[in-house]
Amino acid sequence: MAQVIVVTSGKGGVGKTTTSAAFATGLAQRGKKTVVIDFDVGLRNLDLIMGVERRVVFDIVNVIQGEARLNQALIRDKRVDTLAILPASQTRDKDALTREGVSTIIEELSADFDYILCDSPAGIEKGALLALYFADQAIVVTNPEVSSVRDSDRILGVLQSKSKRAEEKRDKVKEHLLVTRYDPNRVERGEMLKLEDVREILAIPLLGVVPENESVLKASNTGTPVIMDTESVAGQAYKDAVGRFLGEDLPHRFLEPEKKPGLFKRLFGGRAA
């Protein structure tokens, strides 16, 4: 039986799709059979971040409407052979997603995969509710910023009341906090919420901290999940987070400001890595 993981946040633009792509790739790199589903019907983007946008033929709505078989809609990743992507529809409206339809898809995928990642759209409307409904675990992506933290708190409330597990009064959805776009320099200057503050307020276990990093934009430019950029701090932070998810005990890195290079280095040292 596969584990269903929702990547959610409430607020938009905090890094859900970046995280879904990185995390799914990371799990697959560890040999786990992983499928990642884009629930953002009408605003699909996971295909672009994963670099498979030119291979999309059918999408989740086609499968739900019976216009294509699940296997025809699944895109097998060419870089990691245990990874597959189920894209969202770009043309239909979000009412095309039904709970029964999604349920059937997840059931069918459960037979073939270890992990089913659901990339949630922003908000707490139908698409987001469907993305989290079947979840066994939730990765709550949060920026150290007031509106993001507030929305994360809200989505935690929704997970506890509107998920299938909550409705059936089973064990609650296992929650993980992933703080992204963390800038230790701004934290040191007192301009940004500290990691400890975010943890204290949301009070769920910390899975990882991904620092604000240029590599994330570079990765999306080329359609390469940032976890594949093993040199970058964001890539390493995601790799650590995947390790922790799989039960490894890894210290959190990249929480302190980098030592500023001296004037000489800044003038003559070329570009910083």
79 token code pair: 């870089």
- Residues 121/151, Cβ–Cβ less than 8 Å: no
Q: Which span (40-48, 121-129, 147-155, 162-170) binds other proteins, by CB under 8 A?
A: 147-155
Is 125 a binding residue for other proteins by CB under 8 A? The answer is no
3-state SS, residue 265: helix
Contact flags string 201-240 toward other proteins, x per CB under 8 A: x---------------------------------------
Q: Is the CA virtual torsion 22, 25, 29, 34 positive or negative? A: positive
Helix axes 214-222, 16-29, angle to 10 degrees: 80
Helix axes 195-202, 146-162, angle to 10 degrees: 30
Is 187 a binding residue for other proteins by CB under 8 A? The answer is yes
Is 190 a binding residue for other proteins by CB under 8 A? The answer is yes
Q: Which is nearer to other proteins, 193 or 241 (CB)?
A: 193
For other proteins, the binding residue among 78, 99, 189, 265 (CB under 8 A) is: 189
37 token code pair: 């589903």
Question: CB within 8 A of 23, min separation 6: which ones?
Answer: 5, 7, 117, 139, 227, 238, 241, 242, 245
Minimum CB separation of residue 91 from other proteins in Å reads 36
Is 199 a binding residue for other proteins by CB under 8 A? The answer is no
For other proteins, the binding residue among 153, 183, 215, 255 (CB under 8 A) is: 153
Residues 30-89 that bind other proteins (CB under 8 A): none
Is 154 a binding residue for other proteins by CB under 8 A? The answer is yes
